[in-house]
Structure 1
């Protein structure tokens, strides 16, 4: 077991599942294809998930009619967003940070299947000095 797996085994399990999806499918498909594959891979690996989760937004404790929709919420506490882009930008990162802020959840994963190597960013909301942003290509 490596240090990342010991610190965050749930994130490690999600990343492992997405690595397998990328290994099997490669890059070039639409985001929806990878989402469908994730339903199968998450189930095989016993990654607990909800798909296309509605994320309500509040302003001054009033529920707004506008809401976000996360691709997945895994283990009831990790928002997972899939992308199929040639590269990730700060726009996708801001989207995930807004999802975390809106829900109060702390951890998020941004997974990009569009590059020749799988890319992922792990974001942690709420601890400015500890916000962990790492881009990995595998």
Structure 2
């Protein structure tokens, strides 16, 4: 439900939104798997949505790995926790 609401808000702001798109994960120029982010914005930004008490270091490491292995260089890990909204921005530069 959170994903659909966020997509609606982003679309209302004239952003090109794709949901649940399969992205190849590359390691040493070889495809090693697929990642399906919750939202891709303007084919430039990946967003992963969570709804848990808090983000863990494991959540961050996993998202960082997806970002590094994809063609995307900017991503947001967003947690709609019970007490507060947390947004972490990740920028990958080689």
Q: TM-score range by the shorter chain?
A: 0.7 to 0.9
Q: When you count helix as a share of all residues, which structure comes out higher?
A: 1
Matches within 5 A, 1:21-100: 33-64=1-32, 66-100=33-67
Query: Unpaired segments of 5 or more residues in structure 1?
Result: 1-32, 128-138
Matched residue pairs, number? Answer: 94
Larger Cα-atom Rg? 1
Displacement, 1:59? Answer: 4.1
- Provide the TM-score with structure 2 as the length reference: 0.86
Q: When you count strand as a share of all residues, which structure comes out higher?
A: 2
Question: Any runs of at least 4 consecutive aligned residues in structure 1 with deviations exceeding 6 A, and if so which?
Answer: none
Query: Unpaired segments of 5 or more residues in structure 2?
Result: none
